[in-house]
Amino acid sequence: MDAYIGKMLDGRYEILEVIGTGGMAIVYKAMDHRLNRQVAVKVLKNDLAQNADFRRRFHDEAQAVAMLSHPNIVSVYDVSHDGDAEYIVMELIDGITLKQYMERRGQLNWREALHFITQIMKGLGHAHSRGIIHRDIKPHNIMILRDGSVKVADFGIA
């Protein structure tokens, strides 16, 4: 069992379950007890959290993306640390990655591809207009919501 499951961060975010793992961080589904809503909490892996440069880059990513308010970009709500845990609190997405979507559906038809790429470009265009570059754009970092809308996630700055 993961060490964070069941833990409370900053007396506010209750970690419920793992929803994703990357090279630098683990993403959890959590409950924000202050605002009574579910969120995603991205926790920097412990070995990287010991490195001051990684911690700085992690916080810089959160602060940069938090400046972006756009319907096609996953929202960042908070960035903090609790003991050894360095974490970013984000919008919890009700959907799947574009990678998962393509694995289930196979090749996209041109209408689907156009629908997705239009929304991706709107989100990236907004970020670029504010000087923020997505450094890890790939199907794994594109979220397809249940309503068919698209959100760009994990800007890869960290």
pLDDT tens per residue across span 36-93: 999 999 999 988 888 898 888 888 888 888 999 999 999 999 999 898 889 999 999 9
Q: Quick one: DSSP state of residue 73?
A: B
Instruction: Name the catalytic one among 82, 136, 147, 154.
Output: 136
User: Known catalytic residue: 53?
Assistant: no
Strands 142-145 and 95-97 come out as antiparallel
Q: Which domains does the chain have, with CATH numbers?
A: 8-91 (3.30.200.20), 95-152 (1.10.510.10)
Contact 122, 68 (CB under 8 A): no
- In what helix (H) or strand (E) does residue 126 lie, and over which residues does it extend? helix 110-129
Q: Which of 55, 64, 7, 59 is nearest to 33 (CA)?
A: 7
Residue (of 1, 4, 138, 149) closest to 82 by Cα position: 4
Tokens linked to 16: 């419920």
Q: Residue 8 above 70 pLDDT?
A: yes
Whether residue 156 has pLDDT greater than 80: no
Angstrom CA distances, 106 to 77, 79, 80, stand at 34, 37, 39
Mean pLDDT rounded to a whole number for the chain:
93
| pLDDT computed for residue 83 by the predictor | 86
